[in-house]
Amino acid sequence: MKLFYSPGACSVGIHVLLEEIGAPYEAVLVNLREGAQFKPDFAGLNPKSKVPTLERDDGTVLTEYPAIAFWLASRFPTAGLMPSGMDAQARALEATDYCVATMHMQGFSRMFRPANFAPSEADHAAVKARGEEIFAKGLGLMDKALAGREWLAGTYSFADSALFYVSFWWNARLQKDLPGNVAAHFARMNARPAVQRTLKAEGLA
Ligand SMILES: N[C@@H](CCC(=O)N[C@@H](CS)C(=O)NCC(=O)O)C(=O)O
């Protein structure tokens, strides 16, 4: 397998899952700052021009964080990333999609890419503030989801990698506090050898 990633981007969560699994893979750096995602080599592989992108051993390419995480957890069951039972699996997907589609795409994207939401620079402060509000609401919901449990779907699962990367952005990148249960979850994630190997490999440790 090949994981196309950019250091500290959302692909860091998929990188963690691959480290948890332990099957052979190659991590291929896509330099987003230099626009490598739009160059023919990468755009030919993933016309969406986004990381994470996973090239599987049969040569097929999978995109979109929730789909990649779900596929990895299903394909490598012994890694224990797929919770057991339909209800817990649905909960894992529910949390993953919320972290990616709402907290990241609606919240963080507004904070980091306000121009994608409002062409006029005069509106950017308001767009950023709205992004922070969406993200903070998401943290509150994740905090409730973690009440009385260590992991989002009850047992450790692919969903925890998604909460890890948005927590990483908020806490490690922006130096902002996480609510109690999310902070404890982030500490549990950071204690995992797979997370430590990933952060080191991406130059983030
Ligand atoms: N919906 C996509 C979002 C992926 C995404 O937004 N990735 C960002 C990095 S965190 C990216 O590749 N950005 C490059 C760009 O927008 O040019 C997913 O679930 O994987």
Widest pairwise Cα distance in the chain: 52
* CB 153 less than 6 A from any atom of ligand 1: no
Helices 86-97, 158-167: crossing angle, 10 deg rounding: 20
Model pLDDT, residue 196: 98
Please work out whether the CB of residue 51 comes within 6 Å of at least one atom of ligand 1. yes
pLDDT band for 132, please (50, 70, 90 cuts). Answer: very high
Distance in Å, CA 5 to ligand 1 centroid = 10
Determine the structural domain holding residue 114 and report its residue range: 86-192
For residues 52-77, give the mean pLDDT. Answer: 98
Q: Do 180 and 97 share a structural domain? A: yes
Q: Do both 68 and 99 map to the same domain?
A: no
Residue type, 43: A
Say whether both 186 and 94 belong to one domain: yes
User: Is ligand 1 within 6 A of the CB of residue 68?
Assistant: no
The pLDDT of residue 66: 98
Convert the pLDDT of each residue in 105-130 to its tens digit.
Answer: 999 999 999 999 999 999 999 999 99
Pocket of ligand 1 contains residue 54 by CB under 6 Å? no
Tens of pLDDT along 138-196? Answer: 999 999 999 999 999 999 999 999 999 999 999 999 999 999 999 999 999 999 999 99
Both 184 and 144 in one domain: the answer is yes
Q: Residue 154 maps to which CATH number?
A: 1.20.1050.10
Whether residues 108 and 180 share a domain: the answer is: yes
Residue 8: pLDDT band by 50, 70, 90 thresholds? very high
Residues 25 and 120 placed together within one structural domain of the fold: no
User: CA–CA separation, 114 vs 149, rounded Å?
Assistant: 35
Q: Are residues 59 and 91 in the same domain?
A: no
How many Å lie between the centroid of ligand 1 and the Cα of residue 163?
Answer: 16
- Going by alpha carbons, the residue nearest to atom 13 of ligand 1 is 50
What is the helix, strand, coil percentage profile of the chain, to 5? 60, 10, 30
Question: Domain ends where: 80, 100, 127?
Answer: 80
Indicate the pLDDT class of residue 26, thresholds 50, 70 and 90. very high
Please give the distance, rounded to the nearest whole angstrom, from the Cα atom of residue 191 to the centre of ligand 1: 26
Assess if residue 202 is contained within a domain: no
Question: Which of 192, 80, 98 has its CA nearest to residue 145?
Answer: 98
Residue 92 binned pLDDT confidence (cut-offs 50, 70, 90)? very high
Residues 70 and 97 in one domain: no
What phi, psi does 72 have (nearest 5°)?
Answer: -60, -45
- Number of structural domains, the chain? 2
Find the Cα–Cα–Cα–Cα dihedral 47, 51, 54, 60, rounded to 10°.
Answer: 0
Would you state the pLDDT for residue 194?
Answer: 98
Residues 75, 97 within the same domain: no
pLDDT of residue 156: 98
- End position of a domain, from candidates 80, 105, 131: 80
Ligand 1 atom nearest to CA at 38: 17
pLDDT at 120: 97
Which of 80, 106, 124 terminates a domain? The answer is 80
**Ligand 1 lined by 131 (C-beta under 6 Å):** no
- Residue 7: give its domain's CATH number: 3.40.30.10
Residue linked to tokens 């990698």:
161
Q: Is residue 200 part of a domain?
A: no
